[in-house]
Amino acid sequence: MSTETTKQSRTARLVSDLRQFWSEPWFAILTMVLAGAILLFIVVPVFAVLLKSFGMNENGFTLDYYQEFFSRTYYFDAIINSLSASILSTIIVVFLSVSISLYVTRSSSFVSKFYRGAALLPLVAPPFIFSLSLIILFGRNGVITNIMNHAIGVEFSIYGFWGVVISQVLGYFPIGYMLVESTMRNMSPSLEHASSDLGASQWKTLRKITLPLSQSGITKAGLLVFVMALADFSNPLIIGGGKPFLASEAYLLVVGQQNLEQAAVLGVFLIIPSLIIFIFQTYFLKDSGLETISGESGASNAPLSRKVKSTVMTINTIFVAFIILMFVMVILGAFVKIIGINNTFTLEHFKNRNGWDSLYTSVFVSFIAAILAATIGMLQGYLFARKPIPGKKVLEFLTLFGLAVPGTVMGIGYVLIFNGPPFFLTGTVLLIVLNMTFRKIGVGLEASISKMHQIDSSMEEASSDLGSGPYRTFGKIIVPLLSPAFIAGFVYTFMTAMVSISSVIFLIAPGTNLAAVYILNLAEQARVGMASAMSFILIVIVLSCMGLLKYIEKKTGVSI
Amino acid sequence: MKKLITTTVILSAMFLLAACGNSSSNGEPLQVYTHNDSEEMDAMVQDIEENTGVQLDVLRLSSGEGWSRIQAEAPEIGADMQIGMLHGFGIKAEEEGYLLPYQSEEWEDVPDKFKQEDGEWYGTSFWYNLIAVNEDIIKEKGLDVPQSWEDLLDPQYKGEIVLPDPGTSGTAFLAVSTIMQLMGEEEGWKYFEELDSNVAQYTKSGTAPAQMVAQGEYAIGVTWDQAVYDYIEQGYPITDVIPSEGVGYSLDVAWIFENTDQPEKAKKVMDYLGTKDFMELSAEYRSMVTKPGVTDDSGIEESFIDYDAQWDADNRDRIMKKWQDKFSD
């Protein structure tokens, strides 16, 4: 009896929701278009990979490819290598993030600003660029290797597992760092003050108060870095020395043998951990309740005591110096014949027409993808926050899931879906733009939703009371208010699109080659000079775009 | 209000840009696949564009990679033309019916053995395997300079040899095929199994071993002729070794895809590839070209084995499958 009534009331609510949903037909249509696009460009490709791993074709299901997967120690090694490299990279990144955040959030000196900037620098470079620098420095004939060989007579090689770990730490550090830093910055200092007032040493305060309070940010950072490191395929390719890793093996199976089925199986094993982590993060991490403590108290964090500071600073300085060294190697590599061997100055690496073409394509494609992703994210955020949309929780979940899907899997999925009828989008710029857009709209969406929750609906009500229709209200009230979220989505998508590689590498064609893919190709040919030169230009472009945005921010007062 | 205006401006800019994007992707330039190295291809593209007026868009893929892409895309292959590919793949593409026959007058004085009789593919240059050896490392570690394929099995070279991966690299497949043709298949497999224990790394591209040996990363690399000569010319401490058993050679071929929608442009480019001008440019990057009188190729031919490119075409899939089973474990 009682279940029936709840059922009835539930149906009644659904009906009234639907009626309200249709009361603003343009928004309703927009929502449906968005939902369709999310399904087509995020969900369908992932399912295509899943189905392909079972060999879906005329002959129906088969478990052959899974059998093949489990019968080879080679693939098992790939899983072990991928997982252990990602776990190690994550631990190191988290450790370093905490160390640098501790210093940066408690000091406003020039040094701390400089450290912060240097720590974020890897964001603007393709993630595999550190592999190249590491080989220049620590390869078998690297600059540092030689010194060490002569000094202590130990011969070591950076190729292999540890090379991958170090490159991943450098490449994915900024992502983890940003999350940890923002948690620590938003933390109320009063508890720390209380702890020290009660006589606890700073070490104890850090251990008992600061770290537990930042726990949710640290966990989030760790999970995100883990997912990204797991999906990393370019570093194993360059510095892995032939050791198997899941993402790079999946890529090689596709380009070397067109064995899409086997690649799909590897893709499934890539996506399972990502999915688990994503669900864990969405449903179990959010309500940790620790954020309630955060608030603006006005007081600043206690500065570090000398003892803590010296420890933290030693670690920070070594790491920041290392990052800068990596970038210096890239720049030097771009301007000399072959770094370490023939150090005469040259500009010949920059005379590279195909390289410049690919840079142009990258800027063009990333710009459009960034605008699309930011616009869609903003619209979606508004609709989800204010409109009664049936199934919006599911849609939100799916959109954010797009961020977590490993690029290799998404790329293979796009190949499976869009290469044939009815789409025939292979080799078009459009397909690359769509891929970049839909993988990243989650960022704009999250920013918009949280912004919308901060904005009271009274302004919209005022606008409609004064006679504006819903669309006019949206244009006059919501869009201006959401512009910070728009810009956040734009910046993130543009930066990541410029250096993204794992997914789009499957989608390029003559004339639509992208800079990051082209640089990876040069690295495969061991053309270190040309690869460094193109990376240098890419970094300069991304940095100047960021500079331009900062300038606009200052001019318009819109915070970025 | 200001913000609204900026947003509108950005949005309209986006639509404008998107419109431009569509019109430019309609495909004015000729789309080309190549396996040539980026540096060489860059010079070639510039030269072809200047002399024919045809704009080219190029995508470089290692030969194995390129071939599997072509197979996957067929019959709607994503390029109009291939400039630079393995001879064996030329024969396979011809058998599969991927190619557009075209009799070009510019190619008349090129010997018949370098081109397909109906004009389906044309050989521009040929190249062969070489062993690159870093003299400094050899001296430092007290190793002997290897003189033959057989020598590479010597345990003293453990961890010092770089070999390209035949799954992606044409250079590597040429070496594998050469050994198979020299020793017979059974002995050939034994050879590579033994060699595997000396190999430090399998690279994706066939040029990479030369560069790694030149930079002193490893002592010995199996690679191809011009890659080694380039570094010798630039003054790196490396020498080339032509294995005493002989080396296999391969023709580098160009062709027009059957499904091209710009056949006239492609033919114009094909004509130009056969001219003395282009062959001379090609000779700057290759030790031998097919046009008579451009390069002097008298000496080296004695070291060539009686290489059978048809064998390549017929057996590649089988050999590669077995290779993956053996060496991917």
**Residue B207 with chain A: CB contacts under 8 Å:** 525-526
Could you give the ipTM of this predicted complex?
Answer: 0.75
Q: Is pLDDT at B303 greater than 90 in this prediction? A: no
Pull the structure tokens for residue A236: 């194993």
**Residue A527 with chain B: CB contacts under 8 Å:** 37-39, 211
* Superfamily classification of domain A63-288+303-341: MetI-like (1.10.3720.10)
Domains B30-126+251-298 and B127-249+306-327 are alike in CATH topology: yes
Alpha carbon distance A273, A406 (integer Å): 10
Greatest mean pLDDT range, A207-216, A344-353, B260-269, B297-306: B260-269
More confident residue, A302 or A298: A302
Handedness of CA B307, B311, B313, B319 (dihedral sign): negative
Q: Would the pTM count as exceeding 0.95?
A: no
Residue with the two structure tokens 């460009």: A41
Q: Which residues pair with B126 in a beta bridge?
A: B251, B288
What is the CATH code of the structural domain delimited by A24-44+347-560? Answer: 1.10.3720.10
Tell me whether strands B30-34 and B121-134 are parallel, antiparallel or unpaired.
unpaired
Q: What percent of chain B has pLDDT over 90?
A: 50
DSSP A36-57: HHHIIIIIHHHHHHHHHHTT-S
Span A315-330, pLDDT tens digits: 999 999 999 999 999 9
Answer yes or no: CATH 3.10.450.50 is held by domain B127-249+306-327.
Answer: no
Q: Decide if B219 contacts B135 (C-beta within 8 A).
A: no
CA of B142 to nearest chain A CA: how many angstroms apart? 16
Please state the domain extents for chain B: 30-126+251-298, 127-249+306-327
pLDDT score at A368: 94
Q: Mutating which of A159, A255, A506, A558 best tests the B interface, going by the most B Cβ atoms within 10 A? A: A255
Q: Do A479 and B39 touch (CB under 8 A)?
A: no
Phi, psi of B81 (to 5 degrees): -155, 155
Q: Does A513 touch chain B (CB under 8 A)?
A: yes
Query: Where residue B23 falls among pLDDT bands split at 50, 70, 90?
Result: very low
Chain A 460-479, residues with CB within 8 Å of chain B CB atoms: 475-476, 479
Chain B 226-265, residues with CB within 8 Å of chain A CB atoms: 234-236
Alpha carbon distance A105, B248 (integer Å): 64
3-state secondary structure at position A72:
coil
What is the CATH code of the structural domain delimited by B30-126+251-298? Answer: 3.40.190.10
Q: Do A73 and B329 touch (CB under 8 A)?
A: yes
CA of A43 to nearest chain B CA: how many angstroms apart? 24
* B126-137 mean pLDDT: 91
pLDDT score at A291: 46
Q: Decide if A236 contacts A159 (C-beta within 8 A).
A: no
pLDDT score at A4: 61
Taking Cα atoms as reference points, which of A410, A538, A437 lies closest to residue A492? Answer: A437
CA of B43 to nearest chain A CA: how many angstroms apart? 9
Chain A 341-370, residues with CB within 8 Å of chain B CB atoms: 341-342, 351-355, 357, 364, 367-368
Please state the domain extents for chain A: 24-44+347-560, 63-288+303-341
Q: Is pLDDT at A95 greater than 90 in this prediction? A: yes
Minimal-distance CA residue of chain A relative to B234 = A342
Q: Decide if A395 contacts A31 (C-beta within 8 A).
A: no
CA of B293 to nearest chain A CA: how many angstroms apart? 30
* Mean pLDDT, rounded, of chain A: 85
Q: Do A524 and B42 touch (CB under 8 A)?
A: no
Residue pairs between chains A and B whose CB atoms are closer than 8 Å? 159
pLDDT score at B9: 54
Tell me the CA distances in angstroms from A492 to A403, A488, A496, B70, one per residue in order. 12, 6, 6, 35
Amino acid identity at A56: M
* A167-175 mean pLDDT: 93
CA of B292 to nearest chain A CA: how many angstroms apart? 31
Alpha carbon distance B51, B279 (integer Å): 13
Chain B 200-229, residues with CB within 8 Å of chain A CB atoms: 200-205, 207-208, 211-212, 214-218
More confident residue, A180 or A241: A180
Residues of B26-36 as b/e, b for ≥16 C-beta within 10 angstroms?
eeebbbbbbbb
Residue with the two structure tokens 């009371």: A465
Domains A24-44+347-560 and A63-288+303-341 are alike in CATH topology: yes
Span A395-422, pLDDT tens digits: 888 998 888 899 999 999 998 888 777 7
Please return the burial class of A173, using the count of CB atoms within 10 Å of its CB with bins 0-12, 13-18 and 19+: buried
Q: Decide if B253 contacts B124 (C-beta within 8 A).
A: yes
Span A198-216, pLDDT tens digits: 888 888 888 888 888 888 8
